[in-house]
Amino acid sequence: MAGYSILLVDDATFMRMAVAQMLADTEFQVVGEAANGIQALERYRTLWPDLVLLDVVMPEMDGQQTLVGLKQLDPQARVIMASSLGEASRQREFIAAGAKDYLVKPYEQERLLQALRQAVQA
């Protein structure tokens, strides 16, 4: 099974745990986690993962700023944004800034896997 490395970025520990559980026994391997954008950029530099799942609302540096930073660091970065329904109106803004997709939390495993699979094939 071909594997893809993924960095999980969310300030909520339980959310990262839930995603990690959903990705267990799939082709996606969680190689790192971050609780804010600053950590995310640090981890990305070290890990250079195939994918980033990026929360929007976070302290220190939010998801939008982080997206910009990631794309500056690596224009090829594959980033999927995720947030609550309240941020969904910003979806087009995120896609325009280079995000591959946008997911509404709480995560549904099917939709999550679909988004990740599409992102690595694109």
Check if the beta carbon of residue 22 is closer than 8 Å to that of residue 53.
no
Quick count: other Cβ atoms within 10 Å of Cβ 21? 11
Distance CA 69, CA 74 (A): 9
Smaller CB separation from Mg ion, 50 or 55: 55
Smaller CB separation from Mg ion, 4 or 33: 33
| Under rule CB under 5 A, residue 57 binds Mg ion | yes
Smaller CB separation from Mg ion, 11 or 101: 11
Tokens representing 56 are 């929007």
- Nearest distance from C-beta of residue 32 to Mg ion, angstroms: 17
Which of the stretches 30-38, 50-58, 70-78, 107-115 binds Mg ion when contact is defined by CB under 5 A? Answer: 50-58
Smaller CB separation from Mg ion, 22 or 57: 57
Q: What is the CA radius of gyration of the chain?
A: 13
Angstrom distances, CA of residue 11 to CA of 14, 36, 55, 118: 9, 6, 8, 25
How many residues at the interface with Mg ion, by CB under 5 A?
4
Check if the beta carbon of residue 55 is closer than 8 Å to that of residue 99.
no
Per-residue interface string for the shown chain with Mg ion, residues 1-30, x marking contact by CB under 5 A: ----------x-------------------
What residue ranges bind Mg ion (CB under 5 A)?
A: 11, 55, 57-58
